[in-house]
Structure 1
């Protein structure tokens, strides 16, 4: 049986240019489906600690800063500000995601944004052999070694989540 051809996104084209290994996973997404990471985990049959969401914030300096963390976790804005070396960061408005990144809510990838922003990833990513994150559109996820991700974009590992 022939494998369904996946339409390349900016994130995939970026990885292709970098000549790094990755795998694409797709899932059906209906208009009525929730746009959240737990739903993505269920669709892919993956543990939430392996699937990462990409969140975009703005610092008090007006700089945009990107954070990647497991989908079931909550971003600790104070920790994020500290690792970014700023006074504070706040989430950008959903309506601004496309204008800033070129992506939409639920399809925001750390790769292939309009501009490469400083990016931080939760340190738990390195406890996984592979992580999943948005491939640049809803219904598409990229699976890759987090160490390879660090080779293709400047990314720093840190403790980013709310302690439970």
Structure 2
């Protein structure tokens, strides 16, 4: 594993996620794997390919709050986003999943590679509180086949996310 950010030099152009982490001086590891285009679940594929328990690999999901504002939910790949819990955590009445094309346009990433870090627009975000139980966690690095390993505290800092129970 190559160490980047605060504890090592960064080489190459990277993705908006790695550029954001580098600019913030946050330490992270790039964890790359060969993406299988036929995989049913991008997140579970990443966990298996990287030999990491699925509860430590988190997916980034975009939601529409109360039919207007967008927000981000970050949950373990082996769990589901609890839309009611996410809405409540953000002070909204209702949350529905955003359309994939909207998610891609707003974040600048493709589905299956949406990172919570370095999105085109800063959106309200909530990280599932299960992340607090890990020294490090993995999130998408901004493209399929690339995850970033960092501490939950650093993810909260760089995204401005809050911590709440939003998975089931």
TM-score, normalised to structure 2's length? 0.89
* Corresponding residue to 1:124 among 120, 125, 130: 130
Deviation at 1:124, TM superposition (A): 0.6
Which residue does 2:85 correspond to in 1? Answer: 79
Q: Distance in 1 between matches of 2:102 and 2:39?
A: 22
In the alignment, the residues of structure 1 paired with residue 116 and residue 80 of structure 2 have an alpha-carbon distance, to the nearest angstrom, of: 18
Aligned length: 158
Q: Mind listing any 5+ residue stretches in structure 2 that lack a counterpart?
A: 1-10
The residue number in structure 1 matching 2:116 is 110
Task: Give yes or no for the alignment of 1:58 onto 2:58.
Answer: no
The aligned counterpart of 1:49 is 55
> For the Cα contact (< 8 Å) 1:61–1:86, is it kept in 2?
no
**What is the RMSD computed on CA atoms of the aligned residues?**
1.4
Corresponding residue for 1:146? 152
**Cα shift readout 1:101-148 (whole Å, capped 9, x = no counterpart):** 111110000111110101100001010010000000000000001111
Moved over 4 A (4+): none
1:67 corresponds to: 73
Give the C-alpha shift of residue 7 in structure 1: 5.2
Could you list the per-position Cα deviations for residues 67-102 of structure 1 after superposition, in whole angstroms to 9, with x for gaps in the alignment? 101000011111111111011011011122221111
Q: Which runs of 5+ in 1 are unaligned?
A: none
Assess if the C-alpha contact under 8 Å between 2:127 and 2:156 holds in 1: no
Any conservation in 2 of the 1:25–1:141 contact (CA below 8 Å)?
yes
Question: In structure 1, how many angstroms separate the alpha carbons of the residues matched to 2:38 and 2:131?
Answer: 30
